[in-house]
Structure 1
Amino acid sequence: MALGDNSNPASYIHTVQHLIERCMTFGMSMEECMEALAKRADVQPVVTSTVWKELEKENKEFFDQYKQWMSEKRSATSNS
């Protein structure tokens, strides 16, 4: 377990959640976030993926809007 091996699992998951939220402020997809956290915070991609998916379950409306925003953003940049 990275990010302070002495921390408890709930604290670790909360930290990963916070890092995911930071990735989202930069408009990252789940895959981009998994890669970034693996490289920069030594978080296993499976952990990032699992936490992301749980967040999606708990906040379906938000993630639906986030995906729509990401799609529109990517569409706009590809049309430029």
Structure 2
Amino acid sequence: MGSESPSAQYIHMVQHLIEECIVFNMSKEECMEALEKHANIKPVITSTVWNELEKENKEFFDAYSKKREERRFDSDGETSQRQRIRDVVSESTVKNSNDDDKS
């Protein structure tokens, strides 16, 4: 990497940071936001490098997108299940409170 131009080094750094975002299962938009906030990298740079990575690794990104979608639906199910549990607990708490008031 020592013989690379500063701009090539910068692009490789952005690529590495994008790969870190992927490890954390982040979307392109989440990655752009995180790199802007934590590494002061303009979203257009992150987006451009991400798009190039997608072109070079189409099969990987297709599988990655599919996996993210499946996880999103799984987490939506978990979220709605957690919400149902909260609703049941809340209803139970309100019912018990009302029963206590009648005593």
> How does the TM-score come out when normalised to structure 2?
0.71
RMSD, aligned CA:
0.8
> How far apart in 2 are the matches of 1:40 and 1:9?
20
- Which structure has more relative contact order (CA 8 Å, sep 6+)? It is 1
- Which residue matches 1:11? 9
Task: Give the Å deviation of 1:50.
Answer: 0.1
Structure 1 gaps of 5+ residues are 1-6
Structure 2 gaps of 5+ residues are 79-103
- How many residues of Structure 1 are paired with residues of Structure 2 in the alignment? 74
Q: For 2:77, give the aligned amino acid.
A: N
Please tell me whether residue 79 in structure 1 is matched to residue 69 in structure 2.
no
Larger radius of gyration: 2
What's the % identity of the aligned pairs? 61
> How does the TM-score come out when normalised to structure 1?
0.91
